[in-house]
């Protein structure tokens, strides 16, 4: 009887630990699409280096407690880090406490400052026990030249080859006629 009690108690403790450590925070970009912690979002190319204006949603996907966004340092609860070839600016969320199933939106502006590839990490700080810093990398490119399909030295209609073949044929016939006269 005591053995069954300890077995039941260990099962309860195991499930209690799993439930207590459940993740509470999630991010969506674009709004409606969950972006996994640690993932990369490629925003594509802006040939003119125009700024990206992103609306990002923070969600409390937990069921039992409020999610508190950490504001204990500058640029928190949201900041950028490891920026490469871009500048970023975040308009912070308007609330820092989210009840279960609640959400808040904020914006992040990213402006490429050089032609080529750029990237920046977005970090969201909270009291989530599993993911106190939810990080997502945004990347893209700026000013890359697009290929012009109508004008290329690699492809053509084949008429230039036919013209060259015709010219070689005319020269060959001319040489044969000249050698036949001689």
Domain ranges of the chain: 22-142
Query: If one looks up domain 22-142 in CATH, what number appears?
Result: 2.60.40.10
Distance CA 176, CA 166 (A): 15
Distance CA 72, CA 121 (A): 19
- The enclosing H or E element of 102 equals none
Length of the chain: 182
Cβ atoms of 31 and 55 within 8 Å: the answer is: yes
Mean pLDDT of 3-22: 49
β-pair type (133-142, 40-46):
parallel
For residue 5, which phi and psi values (nearest 5 degrees)?
A: -60, -45
Cβ atoms of 130 and 22 within 8 Å: the answer is: yes
Judged against a pLDDT cut of 80, whether residue 145 lies above it is answered with no
Mean pLDDT of 135-143: 95
**b/e per residue 141-151 (b: at least 16 CB within 10 A):** bbeeeeeeeee
pLDDT in tens, 27-83: 999 999 999 999 999 999 988 888 999 999 999 999 989 999 999 888 899 999 999
pLDDT in tens, 76-114: 999 999 999 999 999 999 999 999 999 999 999 999 999
The two three-digit tokens of residue 131, written as one number: 């993911």
SS3 79: strand
């Amino acid at each position: 009887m005591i053995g069954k009690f300890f077995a039941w108690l260990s099962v309860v403790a195991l499930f209690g630990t799993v439930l207590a450590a459940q993740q509470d925070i999630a991010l969506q970009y674009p709004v409606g699409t969950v972006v996994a912690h640690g993932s990369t979002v490629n925003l594509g190319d802006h040939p003119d280096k125009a700024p990206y204006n992103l609306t990002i949603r923070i969600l409390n996907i937990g069921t039992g407690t409020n999610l508190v966004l950490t504001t204990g340092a500058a640029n928190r609860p949201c900041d950028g880090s490891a920026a490469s070839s871009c500048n970023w600016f975040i308009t912070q969320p308007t609330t820092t406490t989210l009840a279960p199933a609640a959400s808040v939106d904020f914006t992040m502006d990213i402006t490429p400052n050089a032609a080529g590839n750029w990237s920046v990490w977005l970090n969201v700080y909270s009291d989530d026990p599993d993911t106190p810093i939810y990080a997502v990398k945004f990347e893209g490119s700026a000013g890359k030249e697009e290929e012009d399909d109508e004008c290329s030295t690699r492809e053509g209609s084949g008429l230039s080859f036919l013209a060259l073949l015709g010219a070689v044929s005319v020269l060959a016939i001319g040489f044969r006629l000249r050698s036949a006269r001689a």
